[in-house]
Amino acid sequence: MHCVCRDVVRVCAVGVFSACLSAPTPSAFAQDIAMADQQETVDAPDVVISATKTPLSAKQVTSSVDVITGEEMQQRKIRTVAEVLRWAPGLALFQTGGLGTSVGVRMRGGTPQQTLVLIDGAIVNSATDGSYDFAHLTSDNIERIEILRGSQSMLWGSDAMGGVINITTKRGRDQPNVSAFVEYGSFNTIREGGSLAGKKGPIDFSGSITRLDTAGFSAINYRRGAAERDGYHNWQGSVRLGADLPKDGRLEFSFRWLEGIVHFDGFSFNSTTFASDPADVFGAGSKNTQYIYAGNYAQPITPWWSQRLTLSRATENLVSNGGVVERNLVTGSTGPIGFPFRSQIGTTSNRVEWQHNFQVGKPLSFTAGYQFREQRGDNRDLLTNTTVFENKSLSSHGGFGEAQLNLWDRVFGTAGIRQDEYNAFGSATTYRVTGGYLHRETGTKLRGSYATGFRAPTINELFFPGFGNSNLQPEKSQAMDAAIEQTLPGDRGTISVGYFWTRYRNLIVAAFDPAVCTEPGSFGFCAQNVGLARAEGLEVNTKLKLYRDGPWVKNLDLQIHYTYAATRDLVNGPDARLPRWPLHQISTVISYQPIESLRANLEGRYVGERFGNVGNSFATSPFVVWNLSASYDVTKFMQAYLRLDNIFNEKYEEILFFGTPIRSIFGGVRINYDLPI
């Protein structure tokens, strides 16, 4: 018997979000409409959109949110979005090998299926398993990443029970600029690309194309005897084109193309021990091609009323090959894989959202919107040339409304409700309330929230032969959090300490019940709403500006993030922790700039022990890993940089049996030039 470590059935669900624009007063409302997109780019660390779907100062946000800018990723020489999310607070992220292998993100005790991911407003969570695989998304041409923690279904609908990750492509600035880079390093890794961005009159443009090739290392840990290298090839392109229209209107189009080709390993069945042993799998791999389109039109209608219409379509084609030959790393035996497979998954996802914002007097604004979301998928078995399922559909109509309160720029609050109607199972109702108080004289903010959430069953859970259950209901959650945030005097940084609690119910799991699971091939197992879980913990975030403008210390900054997550699977006993959730995680980033042209970053990450299943077996040991990066501006137009990963050559695994990089080094050159036009 052979099992691979990739999804063999995935249908990517994509959609779009719309950010309706608000203003502090009716007279300034139309002006804020015109400036909202500029704020989104220029003031990225200080303006948050995901928390309310309106541009909001970070000081007024009553949710738990962090912003990572594209500039920060470029300074730290981050290659992929997954790499930067590893160091973000409140997340758990693990990968099944090197670049290109599967990687999912979890929030606050949740699963990857309960984290909603958006790219330029398009929802990219898989329609088959509900999660988004960050394997192929690079950091190129990304302006900002907003990480919104806690149940967010009231605004964002399904899949946002744990939180939201909102990724935005760069927008063209005033001066047209062209840039290019080339990089080479360990594992025969070559990375290169170019971009063009700028603004001329009412038109702005940003576009990039990049390529990454690496021979890689074994997806199964080489220290366990794996010898075959599993390479990876990635192409990626993105465009964001916008036009400023009369009367403060805005028309915008964005497009992203991803293509990843990766080789991977898996497991083979041991007939002596009746266990699945790690194995080198020869010929196993997949090719994933994604196209994401989104367009939106924003226009003030009156000084107190604006609207925004957004449409998107996304397609994905995933071809997977389970390989031909496997070598069991425990027994040493080599032979044909037990159950070979070849599959092709095709999907088209459409979404429409129309949102309106009304300013009701000075302290109160109201947001209302309608959303239509449709996911369609096909699955073919290429080995037998048969159809697993064809043109399966999951669609919904949703309406939501939210009120925002701002009294004296000190007291803030939101309250909202949402209703979704699905073609497959009926309806889901969610709500959310938040509140906060800012003591401006001392820079102290208190905030808290309570919310309900839901996750709709996926196409796989509903329709996959021998596993799907058409009677499934949505997963549901209740969540609360509370925090105190302190801004230090002289803009020297921030410190926040927060508590969170979430209860998950109606969780969809594979369960044995011959009376329910009667489909051929189910053997009494199928998807059922029987799971129950709880998570609570602490999130401590510190961002400090330690020193400024001294001898050989132009800038010295420190970030420390600590997450304590106590998770419980309430079905399997009070001591059963949820899979792949460590109790303790700590990450730190030290940024040092001795002179204007030189910058260095030291990154450290500690991850505690976690388990592979709800029975708390298959334990994976804790680890500490450190990375170092440095850049030097050789001239006004050219920068040289260096990155050293796993500098102490830590022997560790993020997921049991799967490989991680040894000490490795990468160097490159980047050129930037302002065009004289």
Query: What pairing do the DSSP bridges indicate for beta strands 493-512 and 525-550?
Result: antiparallel
Query: Is 50 exceeded by the pLDDT of residue 308?
Result: yes
Tokens of 638: 């050219």
Residue 5: pLDDT band by 50, 70, 90 thresholds? very low
Q: 657 φ, ψ to 5°?
A: 85, -15
Q: Residue 332: which residues within 8 A CB-CB, separation 6 or more?
A: none
Residue 635: pLDDT band by 50, 70, 90 thresholds? very high
Compute the distance between CA of residue 661 and CA of residue 221 in angstroms, rounded to an integer.
9
- Give the CA angle between residues 528, 530, 536 to the nearest 5°: 130
Q: What is the mean pLDDT of residues 348-366?
A: 91
The more confident residue out of 364 and 517 is 364
Q: What is the mean pLDDT of residues 404-432?
A: 93
Q: 649 φ, ψ to 5°?
A: 55, 50
Q: Residue 64: which residues within 8 A CB-CB, separation 6 or more?
A: 90, 148, 149, 150, 481, 483, 498, 500, 539
Instruction: Tally the domains of the chain.
Output: 1
Q: Are 17 and 123 in contact (CB under 8 A)?
A: yes
Query: Is 90 exceeded by the pLDDT of residue 675?
Result: no
- Looking at this protein, which amino acid is placed at residue 56? L
Pick from 261, 317, 312, 264: which is nearest to 289 by CA? Answer: 317
**Domain region containing 650:** 2-674
pLDDT of residue 45: 55
The partner residues of 607 in beta bridges, in order of sequence, read 585, 623
Q: What is the mean pLDDT of residues 88-95?
A: 92
Q: Within 13 Å of residue 467, how many CA atoms lie on the same side as its CB?
A: 14
Residue 14: pLDDT band by 50, 70, 90 thresholds? very low
| pTM score above 0.75 | yes
Q: What is the mean pLDDT of residues 425-447?
A: 93
3-class SS letters over 586-607: EEEEEEEEEECCEEEEEEEEEE
Q: Worst-scoring range by mean pLDDT, 28-42, 350-364, 525-539, 558-572?
A: 28-42
Among all chains, which residue has been given the structure tokens 């192409």?
235
Percent of the chain with pLDDT strictly greater than 90: 69
Mean pLDDT over the full length of the chain: 88
Query: Is 50 exceeded by the pLDDT of residue 199?
Result: yes
pLDDT of residue 490: 86
pLDDT of residue 677: 78
The more confident residue out of 430 and 551 is 430
pLDDT of residue 38: 39
Q: What is the mean pLDDT of residues 470-482?
A: 94
pLDDT of residue 56: 87
Q: Are 224 and 190 in contact (CB under 8 A)?
A: no
CATH number of the structural domain spanning residue 133: 2.40.170.20
pLDDT of residue 654: 94
Give the burial class of 343: count Cβ atoms within 10 A of its Cβ; 0-12 exposed, 13-18 middle, 19 or more buried.
Answer: buried
The partner residues of 666 in beta bridges, in order of sequence, read 185, 643
pLDDT of residue 36: 40
Distances (CA, A) of 549 to 264, 490, 555: 49, 14, 7
The alpha carbon dihedral of 91, 96, 99, 100 has a sign of negative
Percent of the chain with pLDDT strictly greater than 70: 93
Pick from 139, 127, 142: which is nearest to 10 by CA? Answer: 127
Pick from 75, 76, 32: which is nearest to 55 by CA? Answer: 32
Pick from 60, 656, 657, 29: which is nearest to 405 by CA? Answer: 60
**Residue 25 DSSP label:** S
Q: Worst-scoring range by mean pLDDT, 109-118, 177-186, 485-494, 612-621?
A: 612-621
pLDDT of residue 558: 96
Q: Are 370 and 398 in contact (CB under 8 A)?
A: yes
- Looking at this protein, which amino acid is placed at residue 324? V
pLDDT of residue 183: 97
Pick from 278, 335, 223: which is nearest to 4 by CA? Answer: 278
Q: What is the mean pLDDT of residues 282-295?
A: 94
DSSP for 606-668 reads: EE--B-SSTTS-S-B--EEEEEEEEEEE-SSSEEEEEEEESTT-----SSTTB----SEEEEE
Q: Residue 369: which residues within 8 A CB-CB, separation 6 or more?
A: 18, 20, 53, 353, 354, 355, 356, 399, 400, 401
Distances (CA, A) of 415 to 20, 162, 223, 431: 16, 19, 53, 8
Q: What is the mean pLDDT of residues 250-265?
A: 95
Compute the distance between CA of residue 281 and CA of residue 220 in angstroms, rounded to an integer.
9
| Each residue's pLDDT tens digit, 202-232 | 999 999 999 999 999 999 999 999 988 999 9
pLDDT of residue 128: 80
Compute the distance between CA of residue 218 and CA of residue 389 in angstroms, rounded to an integer.
33
Q: Are 44 and 57 in contact (CB under 8 A)?
A: no
CA dihedral 25, 31, 36, 38 (to 10 degrees): -140
Pick from 214, 209, 208: which is nearest to 190 by CA? Answer: 214
